[in-house]
Amino acid sequence: MANVLVWVEHDGSAVKDATLAAVTAAAKLGDVTALVAGSGVDGVAAAAAQIEGVSKVLKADDASLANGLAENVAPLIASVMAGYDAFVAAATTTAKNVAPRVAALLDVAQVSEILSVEGPKTFTRPIYAGNAIATVESSDAKLVVTVRGTAFAKANATGGSAAVEAVSGAAESGLSSFVGSEIAKSERPELTSAKIIVSGGRALKDAATFEATITPLADKLGAAIGASRAAVDAGFVPNDYQVGQTGKIVAPEVYLAVGISGAIQHLAGMKDSKTIIAINKDEDAPIFQVADIGLVGDLFTLVPELTGKL
Amino acid sequence: MKALVTVKRVIDYNVKPRVKADGTGVDLANVKMSMNPFDEIAVEEAIRLKEKGVVTEIVAVSVGPAKAQETLRTALAMGADRAILVQTDDEVEPLAVAKIVKGVADEEQPGLIITGKQAIDDDSNQVGQMVAALLGRPQGTFANEITVEGDSVVVKREIDGGLETVKLALPAVVTTDLRLNEPRYASLPNIMKAKSKPLATKAPADYGVDTAPRLKTLKVSEPPVRSAGIKVADVDALVAKLKELGVA
Closest among A148, A128, A272, A150 to B220, alpha carbons compared = A128
Of B130, B141, B242, the CB nearest to A103: B130
Give the C-alpha distances (Å, rounded to integers) separating A135 from A123, B29, B219.
6, 22, 5
> What average pLDDT does the structure give for chain B?
96
Burial label for A144, CB within 10 Å (0-12, 13-18, 19+), is buried
> Residue B246 pLDDT > 90, yes or no?
no
Segment A179-228, tens digit of pLDDT: 999 987 777 888 888 999 999 999 999 999 999 999 999 999 999 999 99
Please give the model's pTM, rounded to 2 decimal places.
0.94
Give chain A's end-to-end CA distance (angstroms, integer): 52
Q: CB contact, 8 Å: B215 with chain A?
A: yes
Residue B59's closest CA among B92, B85, B96, B41?
B85
Contact residues, chain B, for A269 at CB < 8 Å: none
Ordered DSSP codes for A249-309:
----SEEEEES----HHHHHHHTT-SEEEEEES-TT-GGGGT-SEEEES-HHHHHHHHHHH
- Long-range contacts for A216-221 (Cβ within 8 Å, ≥24 apart)? A216/A304, A216/A307, A217/A256, A217/A258, A217/A303, A217/A306, A217/A307, A217/A310, A218/A188, A220/A307, A220/A310, A220/B248, A221/A196, A221/A254, A221/A256, A221/A310, A221/B242, A221/B247, A221/B248
A291 → chain B, closest CA residue? B229
Q: CA A81, A85, A90, A93: dihedral to nearest 10 degrees? A: 40
Handedness of CA A107, A111, A116, A122 (dihedral sign): negative
pLDDT tens readout for residues A155-171: 999 999 999 999 999 99
Mean pLDDT value across residues A110-138: 96
Which pLDDT belongs to residue A193?
A: 83
**Interface pTM (ipTM) of the complex?**
0.95
> Distance from B159 to chain A by nearest Cα, in Å?
6
pLDDT surpasses 80 at B94: yes
Chain A residues touching B213 at Cβ < 8 A: 109
